[in-house]
């Protein structure tokens, strides 16, 4: 697909292009597809950088994001392949169920633990780009729910790179831009098309003289650091049940378990809510199964003429059914509360 798209666009010999000295890392989630189209429409083919993109997508379904981006961009786009060199003009997109990282100027795909409840997640890419490209990195946070990308954008900014954020009032889902703006003092807060024009302006400047540093922050390395420098908490990981370690990150904290699942405060709350909901549904299932079994036993006793015993089983079954309905009502109230809550 990559070679086909390149040929169709007259893109020439892909391998003859220079390795990228600059990288633009872009992250988004819900509502970010339109923003990506607007952004890439404004970036010229001559832009001297590689573009690495993470959008939260289904782990199991097919992704047509490269085709969508390629139609808007002046360069071909494709799902990342581990080991490929990152070259100027590339638009490399994280495939489903893999984190996208860079190391020594090449792509690395990581099937490690989820971060911010997602794989791919934005923070691993941004950390990786900050470590590898420093002042030659540009990070962009687009529309999306929760706060993935905020800590990673702060890492890019701390490494000397540029931090850009889609204007929250333009974003279809403003939570990710708002969280990024809380975590870092952005260099520019613009609409998506204006972000593309700003990227083009930044790429006209000479790159930093320093060579890419080559390092990257994998989930394993991040876990080792947080266990060494962080504080053990009484809380457990919603994904695997392991103990969480906490480390300050800007005005908030990052929490990570031994195997690498990582959370901000907000994403941990959502993960805990999922655990509670799953536990409540399991309780409903267990109560309804037991009530059904009691009714079956009671019916068999009734047919044998044991009316008193049958009635006793029926009352116990009715109590369990009532308990299950109470939990269903609780879940419905929680769902309605979430639907009526104001967007952040």
Listed in order, strand segments (DSSP E) in 191-305 are 231-236, 243-249, 252-257, 262-264
3-37 residue pLDDT tens: 434 444 444 455 678 999 999 999 999 999 999 99
Is the distance from CB of 139 to CB of 166 less than 8 angstroms? no
Q: Express each pLDDT in 171-189 by its tens digit.
A: 999 999 999 999 999 999 9
Tens digits of per-residue pLDDT, 103-126? 999 999 999 899 999 999 999 999
The question of whether 75 is a catalytic residue gets the answer no
**Mean pLDDT, residues 44-53 taken together:** 94
The helix or strand, by DSSP H or E, that contains position 79, with its residue range, turns out to be strand 77-79
Mean pLDDT of the chain: 88
Question: How confident is the model over 189-247, as pLDDT tens digits?
Answer: 999 999 999 999 999 988 876 555 555 556 566 666 666 668 999 999 999 999 999 98
Question: 264 an active-site residue?
Answer: no
> How many C-beta atoms surround the C-beta of residue 86 within 10 A?
24
For residue 62, what pLDDT band results from cuts at 50, 70 and 90? confident
Q: Does residue 341 have a pLDDT over 60?
A: no
CB 69 within 8 A of CB 56: no
**Angle CA 107–113–115, to nearest 5:** 85
Catalytic residue among 143, 147, 148, 175: 148
Q: Are 239 and 113 in contact (CB under 8 A)?
A: yes
Which pLDDT belongs to residue 3? 40
Could you tell me the two tokens for 27?
């992250």
The whole-number pLDDT of residue 344 equals 46
H or E segment to which residue 66 belongs: helix 65-72
pLDDT digit string, tens, across residues 72-93? 997 889 999 999 999 999 999 9
Q: Cα separation of 341 and 337, whole Å?
A: 6
Pick one of 3.40.50.180, 3.40.50.720, 3.50.50.60, 1.10.1740.10 as the CATH number of 2-217.
Answer: 3.40.50.180
In the sheet with 243-249, reading across from the earlier edge strand, the strands are 231-236, 243-249, 252-257, 262-264
Q: How far is CA 125 from CA 7, 193, 215, 239, in A?
A: 28, 22, 12, 21
Angstrom distance (rounded) from CA 87 to CA 52? 11
pLDDT of residue 206: 80
Which of 56, 98, 99, 162 is the catalytic position? Answer: 56
40 vs 336, residue with greater confidence: 40
Residue 29: active-site member: yes
CA-CA distance, 69 to 87, in Å (whole number)? 17
| Better pLDDT: 258 or 92 | 92
pTM above 0.85, yes or no: no
């Amino acid at each position: 697909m990559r070679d086909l798209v390149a040929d169709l666009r007259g893109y020439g010999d892909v391998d003859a292009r220079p390795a990228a000295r600059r990288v633009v890392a872009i992250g988004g989630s819900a509502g970010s597809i339109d923003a990506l189209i607007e952004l890439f429409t404004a970036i010229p083919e001559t832009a001297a950088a590689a573009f690495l993109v993470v959008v939260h997508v289904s782990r199991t379904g097919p992704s047509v994001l490269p085709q969508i981006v390629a139609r808007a961009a002046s360069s071909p786009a494709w799902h990342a392949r581990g080991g490929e060199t990152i070259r100027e003009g590339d638009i490399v997109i994280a495939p489903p169920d893999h984190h996208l990282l860079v190391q020594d100027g090449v792509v690395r795909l990581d099937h490690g633990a989820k971060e911010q409840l997602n794989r791919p997640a934005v923070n691993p890419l941004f950390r990786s780009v900050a470590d590898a490209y420093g002042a030659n990195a540009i990070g962009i946070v687009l529309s999306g729910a929760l706060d993935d990308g905020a800590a990673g954008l702060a890492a890019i900014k701390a490494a000397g790179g540029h931090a850009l954020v889609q204007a929250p009032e333009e974003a279809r889902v403003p939570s990710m831009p708002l969280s990024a703006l809380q975590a870092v003092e952005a260099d520019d807060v613009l609409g998506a098309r204006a972000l593309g024009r700003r990227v083009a302006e930044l790429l006209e400047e000479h790159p930093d003289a320093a060579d890419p540093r080559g390092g990257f922050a994998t989930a394993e390395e991040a876990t080792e650091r947080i266990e060494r420098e962080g504080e053990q908490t009484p809380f457990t990981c919603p994904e695997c049940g392991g103990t969480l370690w906490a480390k300050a990150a800007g005005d908030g904290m990052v929490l990570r378990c031994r195997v690498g699942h990582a959370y901000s405060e907000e994403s941990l709350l959502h993960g805990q809510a999922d655990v509670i909901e799953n536990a409540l549904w399991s309780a409903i299932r267990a109560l309804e199964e037991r009530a059904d079994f009691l009714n079956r036993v009671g019916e068999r006793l009734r047919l044998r003429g044991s009316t008193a015993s049958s009635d006793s089983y029926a009352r116990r079954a009715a109590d369990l059914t009532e308990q299950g309905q109470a939990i269903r009502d609780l879940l419905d109230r929680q769902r309605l509360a979430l639907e009526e809550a104001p967007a952040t």
